[in-house]
Structure 1
Amino acid sequence: MVKKLKVSSDKVLELERKLSGLTDLNPIQDLLTYLESDSVDGRVKHKTLFVLQRVFSSLLVSDRILGLKSTSDNEAITITKKWLLDKYTKFFIILGQLLYSNEHSLRITSLHISMSLIRTESSYISNKTKPATPQFAIESFRRLVRSLLVSEKPIIDDVRKEWIDKWPGKCDDIRYFFFKETISLLREFDIKNESRPKYLTANVLSILENIHTMPTDQSEIDEFWVPEIARQEKEQVKQSNLEQTKLDSQDWTAYYDQMVTEEDEEKATDKNAKKSKVRDTINLSAHRAMYSGVWLTLLKCPTGLDVSENRRALVVLHQLVIPFLKPSERASLADWLSDCCDIGGVNALLALNSLWRLMRDHNLDYPDFYRRLYALCDRNVLHVLYRARFFRMLDLFLSSTHLPALLVAAFIKRLSRLSISASPAAIVMLIPFTYNLLKRHPGCMHLIHSERMAQGEEADMYKVEETDPMLSNALDSSLWEMSTHQSHYHSSVNRMSQIFSQVFSKPNFAMEEFLDHAYITMFDSEIRRRIKNNPALYDGKTIGIFGGHKRKLDSLETDEEKDAVSGTQGDLVAELFEF
């Protein structure tokens, strides 16, 4: 049976008074025990957190915890420092556990206290060195990052939002070190070919996809969490800018590639006071390298990402990541995107969108792009939720007037063939889409002006099963499928398909008006359409079914007819069979 602790706020304040002189430090253990207990009230834990924050902050400033090696330290002082360091480390572990507490206030308070102590510790070790040099409390920060990312459940939304808004999304130094520690954490499992912890990838992804404040110019690196980093001498910034210019002419990914080696070379003057060099936090090239590095490390998981994680990454990849990549990294990313294309579905579409950005904006050579795009044009694409997005992108991918007519003709013919078994809503979208392609690429007009007459197997030279659009013989075929729609049962399809029999003098259709067409929109347009002339044999009588609109009694001429209609009101069967 678990023994319940009965602790009041007064008891916590009493322990704080004992600690005020920093002579009797034993109450620290009692306060840590309160935080670990599940039976202690949340308000008491909240007060305990602030008490321990004040105590450890005072101990840090007074050189009682970390303390660089000093010949004046006797054995008793050394033992005390070691004991306090253990308690300080344990406090950070507890703070990490409270990030997943059921109480909102405890979660947010734990996060703020962790970052406050990291700033205090960083300032202490920065001012303690001779000469004073900006440093960062990397060990404590590493514990916080691991607590955020490695857990038995996904990071809680309010903690993630608070973390991003207050630190990586705002402070340049915290963002830099977060990327650096995340890379180390991911590599720790990847190098050993071990499976990543269950929610590690998802937690990292949920943070990265919400960081939109990456600096694009050196002048944008101007906000820091640690004051000593912000006060770096102008000469250091100038030297950093010179190094950046040198790297820009070569490859700034050297920061990323050499990161592990640099960490191995870092030596602290005390094992309990490990620090990290912070000079790179003012260097734009280093920030870019860490950002692209954390994304590439995340994506290239040896065991692979699951489909949903792939999709989430692909949604933001073209906007958040690709602009920061160097040529060598773009080729590597293209390989990963190519693997995503093999998954099919919406993932393949999103991967092609990123590949398109690499080809258009960064001159990536990817010969298989249109072959993979052609493979996505199957009958399923007309019946999926992302149909509108697919055709928006397809219109973009085929927008260049420099594309070979044979290639464009293959897509036109493939879509025309799909229209035969498509719904009216899909056909209404495919007709203007095909019209626009023909207008944009006059070399494909042969498809509707072919005079070739043949029957049997050679009537259509188009090779349906061919996976390479350039070998499909589409240009030797015709759009007979579009001609068949002129006899379609649906009036909208019938009318629209007539444009292929007319002179191509109309401007291009605005596709946004057709991409979201569905049965419901077509039905609404039909019932709202005003009829200019009454149909033949219309007698002016309104007849409803299923209890709907009733026959207008005043339109009937004799009393017998009116009595007959009145008698059938409310009787569904009688209404149905009333002639």
Structure 2
Amino acid sequence: MSQSHIGKKRKRDDAPSRNQGRKRRTIRSGESSSLDVEQLEKRIAKDPSNNHNDVETLLQMLDLANPDAKLNLRAGVALCKVFSRLIASGHLNQDNQGNNQSQELSAWYAEQYRKYRITLARLLRSVSAAQRLSLVHLCWKVLEQDAEFLGNKVWVSESMFKPFLSAVVDIPGGTDVRETYVDEYMNQCHDCCYHSLEYFSTHVATSQDGNVLENVIEILSVLDPPPASAEDLNFLAEPPTKGSKKPLITPASLKRRAEEAWLSVLRSPHLTTGLRKSLLRITTARILPWMSRPETLMDFLTDSYDVGGSTSLLALSGLFHLITTKNLDYPSFFPKLYSLIDADLLHSKHRSRFLRLLNTFLSSTRLPATLIASFIKRLSRRALFAPPAAIVAIIPYIYNLLKSHPTTTFMIHRPPHPPYTKSTENLGEDPFDMKQPDPQKTGAIDSSLWELETLQSHYHPSVASLARIISEQFTKQQYNIEDFLDHGYGSMLGSELVKEAKKEPVVEWKIPKRIFTRAKVGEEGEEGEGNLITKLWDFG
């Protein structure tokens, strides 16, 4: 073969670096619908070296200014298949030992692959809600290819992972995308979970957008519990190691990453009252299992407990968990708990949650009788002004406390201290001090439960009949308060409507002759003359 012939052939093979601009076909939005994506894919698969410009054609179809959603997805899937074959055949390996043109072609393909991944991540932010999930699955498929191509480097900046994860976090209203990402990817691949948690810690700490914090909380709150052992770990890429022995990703290191992410969330300046309440609701079930050192939540929980109102109610379970499992010293726990039984509690939507927790907190028989008596008395007093649905839960709960702490039953047998008035400020000679913040000093143990006796005359029949259990013998061991906690106006009304009447009610009624008019004086019972309105409303 002559030297001149070799030179000409080399010039044709150098097209990717020198002549690609002249051979490239410009794609206009008007002709995009006529392009055959499958044909372009087959041409590249048949001869990657000579049909490399078809990759640019597909990229143009994927990145039109006014894209067709279906065409976008078809082009994206086709490019995924194209680059999958190129990776398998070694066309993206720039370290091969071929000639210069082969290395240049590999570098060119690697650059197109980089553009393709960036474009996919950008499109995920802009496509319609109907196309998001399909594009998420496509992005993950590309990430799996990256894991084969890059190995453990799939989690660093030159791969698709961070642009993809950034899009997942930042999409406004993308709850379905984030739930899919957690359920199908983070919970299944623990190396993905590990590096995602690392990204969240940094992103939350540096972002100035409050929506980012809300979206990260949305992701973290649906994570599965941490794996129990190393055998439960699954990896997308080959498991990385530190040195030669100790693995980088273990159940313990995964929990540390999650702990850092949660602490970044709790320390964020964008943490609003609403987000704080959302976190308090999931503290015991979702946050504490991921904390390698649960005591790091002490400040957050104690600060929330001191806020008051519904925030304090929501902080109860997490704080009690730390007290019982981590020996948290919080001497004012019971005085604060006592103060939460205020005028608004029994009208709050958190009423059932509070009574469930209160049942747990006061379940110990070693608590002093003076403390229990104060809670019984305070609940009884609040029941006087509570809705019926709350009263039917309070009375069985007080019954259970009396059975568990027999010393307090003297409050039932002790006669009331007359005279009592209807005023809440002056309740006669009752020694109970409602304004005393310390439940050990209220004097409730020397008082009586006249409030429950008063409820026996309640206007609601269910409340009145239930209150009579205090005046009867305590033959029942305990009530299951779960049977009473979820009652509302609807359930109580329904229970009354299904009851059959023992006898028909007596009703007296008479059809009036007129509604808006009346007969003149001296003409009662007479039809008389009147205007048109009078005649229209005459039912005689």
> Quick check: 1:100–1:155 contact (8 Å CA) kept in 2?
no
- Confirm or deny that 1:295 pairs with 2:305: no
Matched residue, 1:229? 239
1:148, CA displacement in angstroms? Answer: 0.8
2:221 corresponds, among 209, 222, 235, to 209
Matched residue, 2:529? none
Matched residue, 1:44? 71
> Quick check: 1:170–1:213 contact (8 Å CA) kept in 2?
no
CA distance in 2 between counterparts of 1:102 and 1:36 reads 12
Matched residue, 1:311? 277
> Quick check: 1:444–1:475 contact (8 Å CA) kept in 2?
yes
1:415, CA displacement in angstroms? Answer: 0.9
Matched residue, 2:313? 349
1:541, CA displacement in angstroms? Answer: 7.9
Matched residue, 2:518? none
- Confirm or deny that 1:90 pairs with 2:54: no
1:280 corresponds, among 224, 248, 261, to 248
> Quick check: 1:60–1:66 contact (8 Å CA) kept in 2?
yes
Q: 1:33 to 1:385 in 2, by over 3 A?
A: same
Matched residue, 1:165? 183
Normalization by structure 2: what TM-score?
A: 0.76
Q: 1:9 to 1:54 in 2, by over 3 A?
A: farther
What is the correspondence of 1:10-409 to structure 2 with a 5 Å cutoff?
10-13=35-38, 15-16=40-41, 19=44, 20-23=47-50, 25-60=52-87, 67=94, 87-100=112-125, 102-103=127-128, 106-126=131-151, 135-139=153-157, 140=159, 141-151=161-171, 153-157=172-176, 159-189=177-207, 195=208, 197-221=209-233, 223-226=234-237, 228-229=238-239, 239-240=245-246, 279-281=247-249, 283-301=250-268, 303-326=269-292, 329-409=293-373
Which letter does structure 1 place at the counterpart of 2:235?
F
CA distance in 1 between counterparts of 2:149 and 2:35 reads 32
Matched residue, 1:562? none
CA distance in 2 between counterparts of 1:200 and 1:305 reads 11
Matched residue, 2:23? none
CA distance in 1 between counterparts of 2:156 and 2:125 reads 22
Query: C-alpha deviations, 1:315-369, integer Å up to 9, x for none?
Result: 332122213423xx32321211223334544443222112222223333333333
**1:385 is paired with a residue of what secondary structure?**
coil
> Quick check: 2:49–2:105 contact (8 Å CA) kept in 1?
no
CA distance in 1 between counterparts of 2:493 and 2:264 reads 50
Q: 1:312 to 1:83 in 2, by over 3 A?
A: farther
Q: 1:526 to 1:458 in 2, by over 3 A?
A: closer
Matched residue, 2:409? 445
CA distance in 1 between counterparts of 2:462 and 2:380 reads 17
Structure 2, unaligned runs of 5 or more:
1-27, 420-425, 512-536
Task: Give the % identical residues.
Answer: 30
Q: 1:216 to 1:102 in 2, by over 3 A?
A: same
Query: C-alpha deviations, 1:401-449, integer Å up to 9, x for none?
Result: 1222222222111111111212333323222221111111223224334
> Quick check: 2:37–2:74 contact (8 Å CA) kept in 1?
yes
CA distance in 1 between counterparts of 2:68 and 2:270 reads 43
Which letter does structure 1 place at the counterpart of 2:317?
N
Q: 1:79 to 1:368 in 2, by over 3 A?
A: farther
CA distance in 1 between counterparts of 2:183 and 2:405 reads 48
Instruction: Give the total of aligned pairs.
Output: 478
Matched residue, 2:444? 474
Q: 1:318 to 1:9 in 2, by over 3 A?
A: farther
Which letter does structure 2 place at the counterpart of 1:501?
S
Which letter does structure 2 place at the counterpart of 1:509?
Y
Q: 1:182 to 1:102 in 2, by over 3 A?
A: same
Q: 1:526 to 1:182 in 2, by over 3 A?
A: closer
1:38, CA displacement in angstroms? Answer: 4.6
- Confirm or deny that 1:413 pairs with 2:380: no
Query: C-alpha deviations, 1:227-275, integer Å up to 9, x for none?
Result: x339x99x96xx44xxxxxxxxxxxxxxxxxxxxxxxxxxxxxxxxxxx
Matched residue, 1:504? 474
Question: Root-mean-square deviation (CA), in Å?
Answer: 3.7
**1:422 is paired with a residue of what secondary structure?**
coil
Q: 1:492 to 1:41 in 2, by over 3 A?
A: closer
**1:333 is paired with a residue of what secondary structure?**
helix
Q: Which has the larger radius of gyration?
A: 2
1:149, CA displacement in angstroms? Answer: 0.6
Query: C-alpha deviations, 1:529-566, integer Å up to 9, x for none?
Result: 3466x5xxxxx78648799xxxxxxxxxxxxxxxxxxx
Deviates further, 375-384 or 94-103: 94-103
CA distance in 2 between counterparts of 1:444 and 1:401 reads 12
1:198, CA displacement in angstroms? Answer: 3.8
Q: 1:224 to 1:516 in 2, by over 3 A?
A: same
Q: 1:103 to 1:389 in 2, by over 3 A?
A: same
CA distance in 2 between counterparts of 1:216 and 1:136 reads 26
CA distance in 2 between counterparts of 1:446 and 1:38 reads 82
Q: 1:426 to 1:319 in 2, by over 3 A?
A: closer
CA distance in 2 between counterparts of 1:80 and 1:357 reads 61
CA distance in 2 between counterparts of 1:371 and 1:304 reads 31
Query: C-alpha deviations, 1:470-516, integer Å up to 9, x for none?
Result: 34333343322223223434443333333333343332222223223
Which letter does structure 2 place at the counterpart of 1:424?
P
User: Greater relative contact order (Cα 8 A, min sep 6): structure 1 or 2?
Assistant: 1
Structure 1, unaligned runs of 5 or more:
127-133, 190-194, 241-278, 535-539, 548-571
Matched residue, 1:130? none
CA distance in 1 between counterparts of 2:210 and 2:49 reads 42
Normalization by structure 1: what TM-score?
A: 0.72
Query: C-alpha deviations, 1:71-113, integer Å up to 9, x for none?
Result: 9997x88887776555444322321233345556743343233
Q: 1:546 to 1:201 in 2, by over 3 A?
A: farther
